[in-house]
Structure formats: structure tokens, C-alpha cells
């Protein structure tokens, strides 16, 4: 046998294959460890050790001798220098433009890496695999991370921390878009942990990066060593008018009736997710067909790229449970498994299946075919024993061996019974259970709970169960239950979105979904929402958005919380139904009711005794979701679809299957909507007495600053003085007052009206305070912050030598606006409101044109601003500057305020605190309020 020193000096490579996962050592001059099935480049002789855990076959050693030239060619060595992968690029037509796909430029040490460019938006994605396989499991160890770096748009984060940190919700949603089409194609039995990392390196604000990220991930996996035979690509489809657009720009999406993300292969659809404005099933299918054609073109172009620079696939790393184990499990559990699957309730059925699994393990362990050891007993030899070098001439003679000269015949030991690991048994038991469930549905036409394929579970719902909540509903469908709560608030309750382009965006409606472990009868950790919770919450949120009123009609910020209190499938669609009822109970004037349903499928029915036609299931349960081939969620009403999400767990489905599923889903929605109409007690459909009151008024935009004040000082003082919750102002002159009670709202409304009013000549102001007295008259405050001069001659019907003779600071009088000069100064008169008899007497008593010497100078300076011309122009200006009529708004009752800005009336109308059931068309401002009713 070749000794170690001779081997080193032989300059010939020697390879020990000890596992499917090579750990490579390079002697004598270099040491290198490369990723699985990577290539080590060097002129030196390489010793490659590979540890292989092969169930039932023990460890094997294989020597491979190659020439130095062969090694050099295989690993790309040229004169001792490392030859890096060559860059490749290809332009692929997508819609009305091309995307540029490049590889070999960035991330060359990754198993696969690629950059995809659309316009000036660039997404970089890498794929890496762990060298050592993880423990076998029924869930492929795939992780996806997507990040939008603010530097891509030439900015930094607006927060205190400038480094990108926790993944944002919209980034989580894109991670899910990448994961969902790739996971079904990952081969069973491949347990090497796989990580996909994606970054937005450049963003032009025009071309969205999310669809590019899906395509980039699919291409990177296709170029890598992951043993996935199909290429995945993704596109977005928009609908502008009657035209379907592939990967529409952000400007085009503003006018689109549809937002559809589609991912698939060249022959099948793997994932769709999208939202529409009551889109018909036929239009949705047309959009899917357009998207599938675009995906096919991308996949075909990528296949050509993979042939040029793709890496060898690790197909020999796939380790499936031995086929004979399936026979053992079916023989032991067959009859009892059929009985367990007929248990209708989820928890008893789950416990029965768990006990049966333990029984199978116990029987197989006692029979000696299953071991709990990490390494089966037949593979229990150590590496040291395998690598032990013995003298070639040494023979070990066993007692009883026959000596026939130079030939020594050794007795053949008996073959050990094949041993299986406990993990293999659990994987096989789950798969056998799934097959039995599918067979029962296909052959017997009955599901676990006894329903037919298109039958909906029993539904009941109730509203108003939480007395202090603004709106609440409990929606129950079978063993799935959602507690939905709606809360109304002001602008401060809106959710701020820190997005890539740096424009502050506020969400005034958001739905938050919570899935506690108690809803499935388990114990678990409670923490931040997971990716599943964020994804389900967004699906339900986008389902309900099209039925919400506009901000002008209902300016509340709306938050809906859906807590899943029971779960056995389709909890996101239960959140849609419960959220719709909660909105109605909160008094939100929605356009119509919305329901959601989850559809399932058994694709290959021939395998289970059927005729081969795919079997579509309505309102699937958790076990049917896990064992089925499709999870297709559809939300909408009888007329159209508002949101949809489809995940495929097999190689993909075709358009005819999707058409059948959509028709069956529409029939299911109609039935669910009918059951929601029977809600008992029904939704209140009026604002709760605990909801905030809102008053909306319109002022001149240039007067908004009078309300805000320096640094917001004025608006804060109004909030504190009146006790209102918030006052929102807009640059267009809209003012919204949020209050908990009517009194505080009325008080703040009066202050703002006075601050922003435009005085008109002839207006009368009652009970106005004298703020100061001068030798030539008194300054009277007609509104907070607005004062005018009441000349000494206009203070009394009689002649006054000094104003102090009749009035003092703090006295209150009624005045009438007589003139407004070009500087906005007001000239008031108290004398004009005195009785006519007093005026006649005063004209005889008062010396005409008499002013005291100490007042004449200051009076003349003030009078310079007034003239006949000024009076005429100020009248015209006053008419033009009348308060803008505001659009009325909402609440449980809409109350007519009876208050108008001060106009040419002889009498001031006071605000009415009485709420009425209708709004007068003459109102210039309106409010959502009124006496809260029980």
C-alpha cells in the first residue's frame, strides 16, 4: 500500500470519498477548503478527503489517480495562478424593454450569484450552500433575505440609526415572494442548508425591484449546485385600460386596476399574488396567461446561460428514506391510520395520529430495524478504523479457515438487518398519512370532516362583543376563528412608511394579524410577528382596501386587528370576513361586504384510484393544506376579486385548472357572504360612543399659519385649553379637529373660526373685550388675536372728552365693523348699535368736529389709512375673501353647526350644540359628531 510520504512525493492526486460532502485538504504547499463540489485549483498534488454517511452501506474509501494535466484542466490552474470564472451577460426581452442579466462579475465565491438590471434599478442576488447537510426534516432548510439599501436611491435612513437594521414589513413580503415559488421545486432528500441573499444596489424610482428580485433568485439557483432542474422567473402584470403591461413602471401602476405578481417555470405556474379593484375571473386569467408567456421567455433565455456557466448539480447528495420502510409503516399502521383520519375534530385526530406514530416507532425499534443512534449500527465503524493502514502482506487467519495454498477463503458473515433512523420513520409516516388522506378524498369523495369537495364548513358570526372597542366581530368557520377589532383614530395613529425613495408615506388603514400558539392548542414562544403573520395580514389588508371610503368622506385612520383564536386552515380568509364585519360594526361606511375562501387541490388523482382529473377542494382545512397540492386564497364579492394568493406544492398548474378553481371559489364566496348577512347580533353600522368626534372646516390656506403659530405653539395651546385630542391642518386649508366630547370640540372650533375669519364690513360682534384705551379711542378684540379701533366719537351717543370717562380696560361692548383699510386695520363703532333715539339726542348734545388737543395728532395718523376709496375697495375685498365652503364629513351622526363666518347680518347666530340627523346644504363647514347614541 502507498505510504503517506510516498504519496506526497508521487505528485499524484489521491481522493478518499467518505461522504457526499467533500472536505478537501491540499498538500504539501497549500491548504484549501472549498464548498461542496467546488474545485480546488493548484499545481500541487491534492489529497481530498470526503466523509460520507451512507445509511446501511457503511463507510467507503475510493482512490482516484489523475495526471497533473488532468487536475490542472479540471480545476483551472494555469502557471500557478488562479483562473477566476469568466463573466457572462445576456439581455432578455421583458414586455416592451430588456433586462440585463450578468454573472461572474460580483460574488464569485458564492455557489451562484447574479445581477439583474432594469433601467437603472439593479438587484444583486447570491446563493450559498452549507458544506454539511443538516438533520433530515420535512421542511427544506431554505432561508431568504431581501434588503433595500437607502444608498440605492442616494439617501440615508431618516432615523437615528443610519445602518440598515431590522427587515421592514415590505421587505419581508418580498422575501416571501422569492421563497414561495422556489421551495416546491427543491428536491426531497436534499438537506444542505441553502441561503438566498438579495440586495437592491440601485433604484431609479421607476422600475420596481421586487419582480427583479424573484427572477434574480431563480437565475442564481439555476446557476448554483442546488439540484433543482427547473429555472424560476417572476414578473409583475398591470392592467391599464384594456392593456396588460409586463413589469409596469411606478407611473403606470398608479393607473393600473391590477397588481399581479406571477412566478413559474417555462411550463407551469408556481405562485401568483395580487390585488385588484373587483377584477373579474376572466380578466385575471388573461393576466396570468400574459405573465406566463413572459416567464417562459425569461426561463428559456436563462437555460442557455446555465449551459454556458452553470455549476454541476449535487444530485448524488439527495438521500431519501429506503423504499422498504414505506412497506413496514403501511403494514403496521394501515387500518388504524384509516380510522384515525376519519376523526372529524382536529385535536383528537392529531393526538390519534401522534399515538399511532409512536406505536410504529416502538414496533420497528423492538424488531431491531430502527435505531435511535445518530449513526445506524451498520455504519458504526469509526473513521480511524477505516483509515487504518495495514501491511499488504499481512494475513489474519481465522479459526476454521481452509488453507488452500496461496488462496485464503474467508467465511462470509451474515448480512445485518437493514437499520433505519427514527427521523426516516417519522418522514415516511407523514408521507404515508398524506397519501392515505388523499386516497380517502379521491376514492370516497369525503374529507376528514365528512364534507364533499365543494362544501363549506358551518359558519357563525357575531358583532359588538367588546363594549369598549369601536367595532368588534367574532367570525367562526368550522374550527377556524378570528376575533377582529376595528379602532378609529386621528392622523397621529397613521403608520409611517420609511421607503426607498425618501417620500414620507402614511398608511391610514392597516390590518395586523396575530397567530398565537394557543390557537392550535400548543405551547410556543410569543414575540415579534413572523413572516407568516406579516404576509397573512397584508393579504387581508389588501383584500379590504377597495371597499373603504375615501379620506374626504371618512377621514379616520383605521386599524383592524385580527387575532386567530382557533386555527384549522384558512385563517387569513377568516380575517377578511371578520375584518369586514368589524368595520361595519365600527360604523365605517364601506362600499360592500367582502368574503374570502381558500381552495385546495389533489392534482394526480389517478395515483389514488381516480380518473386523473384534478380534484378541487373548497374551504380547505390545515391537513388538506399540508397534504394537498395547492393553496389558493381568493377574496372578493359576487362581482369580482379584490385579492388572491396561490402557492403550488408540485411542479405547477395550468390555466384550465386555475379557471375551475376560480369558478368554484366564486360560488363559495357567495355562500359565505350569505352567512355573514345572518350575523347575530348584526353590525351596529354607526360610530361607537367611544369613537373620537371629528369636525372638518375649511379656511383660507394662507391663514393656516395663524392656527399653527410659531413652532406649533398656538395649536398646542388650543389643544391644551380645549382638551381636544388632536388638530390636523393641511396646506390646502383643511382643518380637522378630533375630540372625545362635544363641548371641547365646539370650544376649539370657535377659537379656530375666530383666528381664521375674514371680517366683512357691516359684521356685528357681541360682547367684545376692550383690550386697551388710548386718548383717541379704545382697541376692542373682536376675535382672538384680532383687534380694531373704536374711535372716541364712536364709543358713545354723547360727547366724550376721554374714553376713560365711560369705559375701562376689560369692559365688554358690542361693536359693528365700519371700515377696513388697505393695511387690514379695522374701524369699529359702538355708537352705531345704540338705539336711534339716543343717536338723535347725541347729535344735538355733541359739538361737531371737536377733539381734544392731546388726541388730534395720534388720531390723524391713524385716519390716514382710511378714505372713501379705501372703504369701497375694502368692501369688495371683504366679499371676495369670504370663507371657503368646506366639504362636509362624517361621524355617527353628522351635525349641522349653524355657525357661519361672520357675514353681513344684523344679528350673530350662536353655535348650536344639538346634533341633527342631516346636513344642510348651506353649511360652510360640517362635522362628524353629534350626541353619541347607545
For 360-386, the pLDDT digits (tens) are 998 988 887 777 654 443 343 433 443
The Cα–Cα gap between 317 and 332 comes to 30
Residue found by looking up cell 375697495 in the block: 873
pLDDT above 70 for 291: yes
Cell matching residue 503: 417620500
Q: Are 24 and 49 in contact (CB under 8 A)?
A: yes
**Least confident piece of the model among 11-15, 205-209, 648-652:** 11-15
Residue found by looking up cell 427583479 in the block: 212
- One fold for both 88-317 and 459-522+529-678? yes
Name the DSSP class of 839.
H
- How are beta strands 142-148 and 194-202 bridged, if at all? parallel
Residue 176's pLDDT is: 95
Higher pLDDT, 657 or 873: 657
The Cα–Cα gap between 343 and 360 comes to 19
What is the distance, to the nearest Å, from the Cα of residue 398 to the centroid of all Cα atoms in its chain?
72
Arithmetic mean of pLDDT, 521-550: 93
Residue 358 backbone zone (phi > 0: left; psi -120 to 50: alpha; other: beta)? alpha
Evaluate the CA torsion angle 490, 493, 499, 504 in order and state its sign: positive
Evaluate the CA torsion angle 302, 304, 305, 307 in order and state its sign: positive
Say which residues have a Cβ less than 8 Å from residue 762's Cβ, sequence separation at least 6: 816, 817, 904
- Closest alpha carbon to 87 in 74, 72, 102: 102
Contacts 24+ apart (CB under 8 A), 804-811: 804/773, 807/770, 807/773, 807/778, 808/770, 808/773, 809/770, 809/771, 809/772, 809/773, 810/769, 810/770, 811/769, 811/770
Alpha-helical (H) ranges within 162-203 are 169-182
Residue 415's pLDDT is: 53
Higher pLDDT, 924 or 561: 561
The Cα–Cα gap between 207 and 204 comes to 7
**Which secondary-structure segment (H or E) carries 157?**
none
- Three-class SS of residue 17? strand
Cell matching residue 26: 491540499
**Least confident piece of the model among 127-136, 704-713, 925-934:** 925-934
Residue 236's pLDDT is: 97
**Least confident piece of the model among 76-90, 697-711, 823-837:** 76-90
Say which residues have a Cβ less than 8 Å from residue 308's Cβ, sequence separation at least 6: 88
Arithmetic mean of pLDDT, 430-454: 88
- Three-class SS of residue 181? helix
The Cα–Cα gap between 439 and 478 comes to 23
Residue 599's pLDDT is: 95
Q: Are 830 and 803 in contact (CB under 8 A)?
A: no
**Least confident piece of the model among 95-104, 271-280, 758-767:** 758-767
Residue 383's pLDDT is: 36
What is the distance, to the nearest Å, from the Cα of residue 753 to the centroid of all Cα atoms in its chain?
41
- Closest alpha carbon to 641 in 618, 621, 661, 655: 661
Residue 82's pLDDT is: 57
Q: Are 515 and 540 in contact (CB under 8 A)?
A: no
Cell matching residue 399: 479459526
Say which residues have a Cβ less than 8 Å from residue 545's Cβ, sequence separation at least 6: 275, 509, 642
Say which residues have a Cβ less than 8 Å from residue 745's Cβ, sequence separation at least 6: 693, 695, 722, 724, 737, 739, 927, 929
- CA dihedral (858, 863, 864, 865) in degrees, to 10, reads 120
Q: Are 580 and 676 in contact (CB under 8 A)?
A: yes
Residue 469's pLDDT is: 95
Residue 248's pLDDT is: 95
The Cα–Cα gap between 44 and 11 comes to 7
Arithmetic mean of pLDDT, 242-252: 94
- Name the phi and psi angles at 268, rounded to 5: -150, 160
Cα distances from 132 to residues 46, 343, 407, in angstroms, run 21, 41, 43
Cell matching residue 870: 379705501
Taking the domain 88-317, which CATH number applies? Answer: 3.30.230.70
- Name the phi and psi angles at 811, rounded to 5: -65, 155
- CA dihedral (389, 392, 393, 396) in degrees, to 10, reads 60
User: Residues for the chain: how many in total?
Assistant: 934
pLDDT above 80 for 811: yes
The Cα–Cα gap between 412 and 847 comes to 144
Q: Measured at the alpha carbon of residue 389, what is the angle toward residues 385 and 390, in degrees to the nearest 5?
A: 105
Cα distances from 572 to residues 96, 259, 543, 548, in angstroms, run 36, 19, 10, 19
Q: Name the pLDDT band for 243 (thresholds 50, 70, 90).
A: very high
**Least confident piece of the model among 256-260, 410-414, 926-930:** 926-930
Residue 414's pLDDT is: 57
Evaluate the CA torsion angle 923, 929, 931, 934 in order and state its sign: positive
What is the distance, to the nearest Å, from the Cα of residue 297 to the centroid of all Cα atoms in its chain?
29
Say which residues have a Cβ less than 8 Å from residue 571's Cβ, sequence separation at least 6: 480, 482, 513, 515, 519, 536, 564
Q: Are 272 and 646 in contact (CB under 8 A)?
A: yes
pLDDT in tens, 131-140: 999 888 888 8
**Least confident piece of the model among 83-92, 205-214, 379-388:** 379-388
pLDDT above 80 for 621: yes
Residue 126's pLDDT is: 97
pLDDT above 90 for 202: yes
Name the DSSP class of 653.
B
- The chain-wide mean pLDDT, for the chain, equals 78
Q: Is 459-522+529-678 CATH 3.60.20.10?
A: no
Say which residues have a Cβ less than 8 Å from residue 550's Cβ, sequence separation at least 6: none
pLDDT above 90 for 38: no
Q: Name the pLDDT band for 709 (thresholds 50, 70, 90).
A: confident
Please list the residues that pair with 125 across neighbouring strands. 114, 198
pLDDT above 60 for 527: yes
pLDDT in tens, 111-131: 999 999 999 999 999 999 999
The Cα–Cα gap between 208 and 409 comes to 73
Tell me the range of 60-64, 393-397, 684-688, 753-757 where mean pLDDT is highest: 684-688
Alpha-helical (H) ranges within 62-190 are 68-75, 169-182
- Closest alpha carbon to 464 in 482, 481, 480, 484: 484
Residue 496's pLDDT is: 82
Q: CB count, 10 Å around CB of 10?
A: 12
Domain residue limits, the chain: 88-317, 459-522+529-678, 693-756, 763-833
**Least confident piece of the model among 205-209, 243-247, 615-619, 748-752:** 748-752
CA contacts within 13 A on the Cβ side of 559: 16
Name the DSSP class of 108.
T
What is the distance, to the nearest Å, from the Cα of residue 801 to the centroid of all Cα atoms in its chain?
76
Q: Which CATH architecture has domain 763-833?
A: Beta Barrel (2.40)
- How are beta strands 495-497 and 505-507 bridged, if at all? antiparallel
Please list the residues that pair with 78 across neighbouring strands. 81
Report the 3 state secondary structure along 890-905: CCCEEEECCCCCCCCC
Residue 55's pLDDT is: 38
Quick one: the chain helix, strand, coil %, rounded to 5?
35, 25, 40
What is the distance, to the nearest Å, from the Cα of residue 729 to the centroid of all Cα atoms in its chain?
29
Report the 3 state secondary structure along 297-357: HHHHHHHHHHHHHCCCCCHHHCCCCCHHHHHHHHHHHHHHHHHHHCCCCHHHHHHHHHHHH
Tell me the range of 142-156, 829-843, 919-933 where mean pLDDT is highest: 142-156
The Cα–Cα gap between 86 and 101 comes to 14
Share of the chain above pLDDT 90, in %: 44
Q: Name the pLDDT band for 322 (thresholds 50, 70, 90).
A: confident
- Name the phi and psi angles at 919, rounded to 5: -115, 130
CATH topology of domain 693-756: Ribosomal Protein S8; Chain: A, domain 1 (3.30.1370)
Amino acid at each position: 500500500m502507498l505510504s503517506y510520504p510516498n504519496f506526497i512525493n508521487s505528485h499524484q492526486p489521491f481522493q478518499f470519498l467518505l461522504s457526499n460532502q467533500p472536505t478537501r485538504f491540499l498538500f504539501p504547499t497549500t491548504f484549501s477548503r472549498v464548498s461542496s463540489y467546488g474545485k480546488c485549483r493548484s499545481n500541487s498534488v491534492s489529497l481530498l478527503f470526503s466523509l460520507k454517511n451512507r445509511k446501511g452501506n457503511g463507510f467507503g474509501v475510493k482512490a482516484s489517480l489523475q495526471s497533473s494535466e488532468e487536475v490542472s484542466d479540471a480545476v483551472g490552474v494555469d502557471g500557478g495562478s488562479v483562473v477566476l470564472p469568466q463573466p457572462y451577460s445576456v439581455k432578455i426581452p421583458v414586455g416592451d424593454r430588456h433586462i440585463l442579466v450578468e454573472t461572474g462579475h460580483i460574488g464569485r465565491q458564492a455557489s451562484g450569484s447574479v445581477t439583474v438590471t432594469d433601467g437603472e434599478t439593479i438587484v444583486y442576488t447570491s446563493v450559498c450552500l452549507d458544506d454539511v447537510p443538516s438533520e433530515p426534516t420535512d421542511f427544506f432548510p431554505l432561508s431568504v433575505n431581501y434588503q433595500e439599501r437607502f444608498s440605492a436611491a442616494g439617501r440615508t435612513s431618516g432615523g437615528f440609526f443610519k445602518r440598515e437594521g431590522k427587515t421592514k414589513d415590505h421587505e419581508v413580503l418580498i422575501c416571501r415572494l422569492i421563497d414561495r415559488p422556489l421551495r416546491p421545486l427543491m428536491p426531497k432528500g436534499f438537506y444542505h442548508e441553502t441561503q438566498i441573499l438579495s440586495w437592491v444596489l440601485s433604484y431609479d424610482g421607476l422600475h420596481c425591484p421586487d419582480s427583479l428580485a424573484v427572477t434574480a433568485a431563480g437565475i442564481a439557483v439555476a446557476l448554483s449546485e442546488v439540484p433543482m432542474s427547473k429555472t424560476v422567473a417572476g414578473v409583475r402584470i398591470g392592467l391599464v385600460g384594456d392593456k396588460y403591461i409586463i413589469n409596469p413602471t411606478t407611473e403606470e401602476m398608479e393607473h393600473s386596476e391590477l397588481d399581479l405578481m406571477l412566478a413559474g417555470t417555462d411550463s407551469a405556474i408556481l405562485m401568483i399574488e395580487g390585488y385588484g379593484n373587483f377584477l373579474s375571473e376572466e380578466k385575471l386569467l388573461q393576466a396570468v396567461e400574459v405573465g406566463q408567456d413572459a416567464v417562459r421567455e425569461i426561463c428559456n433565455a436563462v437555460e442557455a446561460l446555465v449551459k454556458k456557466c452553470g455549476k454541476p448539480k449535487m444530485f448524488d447528495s439527495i438521500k431519501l428514506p429506503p423504499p422498504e420502510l414505506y412497506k413496514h409503516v403501511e403494514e403496521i399502521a394501515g387500518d388504524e391510520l384509516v380510522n384515525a383520519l376519519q376523526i372529524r375534530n382536529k385535536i383528537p385526530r392529531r393526538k390519534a395520529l401522534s399515538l399511532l406514530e409512536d406505536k410504529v416507532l416502538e414496533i420497528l425499534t423492538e424488531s431491531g430495524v430502527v435505531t435511535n443512534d445518530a449513526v445506524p449500527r451498520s455504519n458504526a465503524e469509526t473513521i480511524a478504523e477505516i483509515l487504518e493502514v495495514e501491511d499488504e502482506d499481512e494475513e489474519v487467519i481465522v479459526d476454521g479457515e481452509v488453507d488452500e495454498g496461496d488462496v485464503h477463503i474467508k467465511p462470509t458473515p451474515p448480512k445485518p438487518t437493514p437499520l433505519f433512523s427514527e427521523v426516516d420513520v417519522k418522514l415516511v409516516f407523514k408521507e404515508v398519512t398524506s397519501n392515505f388522506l388523499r386516497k380517502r378524498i379521491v376514492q370516497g369523495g369525503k374529507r376528514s370532516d365528512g364534507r364533499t369537495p365543494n362544501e363549506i364548513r358551518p359558519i357563525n358570526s357575531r358583532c359588538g362583543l367588546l363594549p369598549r372597542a369601536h367595532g368588534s366581530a367574532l367570525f367562526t368557520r368550522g374550527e377556524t376563528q378570528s376575533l377582529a377589532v376595528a379602532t378609529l383614530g386621528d392622523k397621529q395613529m397613521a403608520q409611517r412608511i420609511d421607503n426607498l425613495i425618501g417620500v414620507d408615506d402614511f398608511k391610514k388603514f392597516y390590518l395586523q394579524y396575530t397567530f398565537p400558539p394557543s390557537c392550535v392548542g400548543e405551547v410556543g414562544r410569543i414575540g415579534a410577528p413572523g413572516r407568516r403573520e406579516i404576509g397573512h395580514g397584508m393579504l387581508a389588508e389588501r383584500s379590504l382596501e377597495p371597499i373603504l371610503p375615501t379620506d374626504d368622506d371618512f377621514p379616520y385612520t383605521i386599524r383592524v386587528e385580527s387575532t386567530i383564536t382557533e386555527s384549522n386552515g384558512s385563517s387569513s380568509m377568516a380575517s377578511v370576513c371578520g375584518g369586514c364585519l368589524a368595520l361595519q360594526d365600527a360604523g365605517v361606511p364601506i362600499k360592500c361586504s367582502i368574503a374570502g375562501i381558500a381552495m385546495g387541490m389533489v392534482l394526480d388523482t389517478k395515483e389514488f384510484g381516480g380518473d386523473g382529473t384534478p380534484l378541487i377542494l373548497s374551504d380547505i382545512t390545515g391537513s388538506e393544506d399540508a397534504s394537498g397540492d395547492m393553496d389558493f386564497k381568493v377574496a372578493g364579492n359576487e362581482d369580482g376579486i379584490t385579492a388572491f394568493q396561490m402557492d403550488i406544492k408540485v411542479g405547477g398548474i395550468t390555466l384550465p385548472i386555475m379557471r375551475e378553481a376560480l369558478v368554484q371559489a366564486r360560488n363559495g364566496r357567495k355562500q359565505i357572504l350569505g352567512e355573514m348577512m345572518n350575523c347575530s347580533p348584526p353590525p351596529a353600522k354607526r360610530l361607537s360612543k367611544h369613537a373620537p368626534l371629528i369636525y372638518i372646516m375649511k379656511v383660507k390656506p394662507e391663514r393656516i399659519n395663524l392656527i399653527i403659530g410659531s413652532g406649533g405653539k398656538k395649536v398646542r395651546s388650543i389643544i391644551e385649553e380645549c382638551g381636544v385630542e388632536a388638530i390636523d391642518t393641511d396646506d390646502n386649508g383643511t382643518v380637522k379637529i378630533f375630540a372625545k366630547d362635544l363641548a371641547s370640540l365646539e370650544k376649539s372650533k370657535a377659537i379656530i373660526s375666530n383666528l381664521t375669519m375674514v371680517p366683512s364690513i357691516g359684521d356685528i360682534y357681541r360682547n367684545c373685550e376692550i383690550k386697551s384705551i388710548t386718548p383717541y379711542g379704545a382697541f376692542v378684540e373682536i376675535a382672538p388675536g384680532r383687534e380694531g379701533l373704536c374711535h372716541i366719537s364712536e364709543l358713545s351717543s354723547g360727547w366724550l372728552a376721554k374714553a376713560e370717562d365711560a369705559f375701562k380696560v376689560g369692559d365688554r361692548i358690542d361693536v359693528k365693523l365700519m371700515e377696513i383699510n388697505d393695511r387690514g386695520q379695522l374701524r369699529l363703532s359702538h355708537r352705531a348699535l345704540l338705539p336711534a333715539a339716543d343717536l338723535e339726542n347725541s347729535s344735538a348734545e355733541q359739538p361737531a368736529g371737536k377733539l381734544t388737543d392731546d388726541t388730534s395728532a395720534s388720531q390723524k395718523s391713524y385716519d390716514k389709512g382710511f378714505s372713501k376709496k379705501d372703504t369701497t375697495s375694502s368692501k369688495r375685498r371683504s366679499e371676495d375673501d369670504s370663507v371657503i365652503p368646506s366639504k362636509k364629513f362624517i361621524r355617527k351622526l353628522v351635525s349641522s353647526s349653524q355657525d357661519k363666518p361672520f357675514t353681513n347680518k344684523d344679528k350673530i347666530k350662536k353655535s348650536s350644540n344639538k346634533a341633527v340627523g342631516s346636513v344642510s346644504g348651506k353649511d360652510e363647514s360640517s362635522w362628524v359628531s353629534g350626541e353619541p347614541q347607545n
